[in-house]
Amino acid sequence: MAHPLLALGLIGFWLLLSGHYTALLIALGGGSVLLILWLMDRLDKADGSPVRMRPTLGLLRYLVWLFGQVIKANIEVARRILDPRLPIDPVWQTIEVELDSDLQKTLYASSITLTPDTFTMHIRDDGSFMVHALWPESIEALRTGEMQRRVQQTRI
């Protein structure tokens, strides 16, 4: 097996989230892990450039921070939906991105999309992102570069 640590991590994650330890669920989880590993192996062979994401302390810190941002954005979306005086003014903007690797760009684009008030629509050839936001303040928050700086610090 080419990815033993990944396999152990996926099995542990499955068991943690499942909370039920019947033979059927454990077998389904094991089958899912094997399917993921098989697909990864095929993709690595198909593109000839396997990506190895090393879990680092920086990545863990980033994910904890991102979780907090997702919670804040959820609260803000709920506030704006429930209070008709708060505007929802959708915007499309291009965000300049200065990240080193495709993996960091993918993490950044996914992070933007995970927050409920923003969505990465397109990654352009020049490296910039086309982002949709429910209000202009969300775009301005991205332009400050806080999320991008934190992605850079993950060192993945």
State the number of CA atoms in the 13 A half-sphere of 106 facing the CB: 6
In tens, the pLDDT along 106-133 reads: 999 999 999 999 999 999 988 899 999 9
pLDDT value for 53: 62
Q: Which of 88, 64, 83, 81 is nearest to 138 (CA)?
A: 88
**Helix (H), strand (E) at residue 100:** none
What element of type H or E holds 132? strand 129-133
CA dihedral angle for residue 115, residue 120, residue 121, residue 122, rounded to 10 degrees? -170
For residue 125, give both structure tokens.
């050839």
Instruction: Count CB atoms within 10 A of the CB of residue 44.
Output: 15
What's the pLDDT at 37? Answer: 87
Q: Are 88 and 80 in contact (CB under 8 A)?
A: yes
pTM (2 decimals)?
0.75
Which residues in the chain come in under a pLDDT of 50?
Answer: 1
pLDDT at 51: 64
pLDDT of 12 reads 85
SS3 content of the chain, % helix, strand, coil (to 5): 60, 10, 30
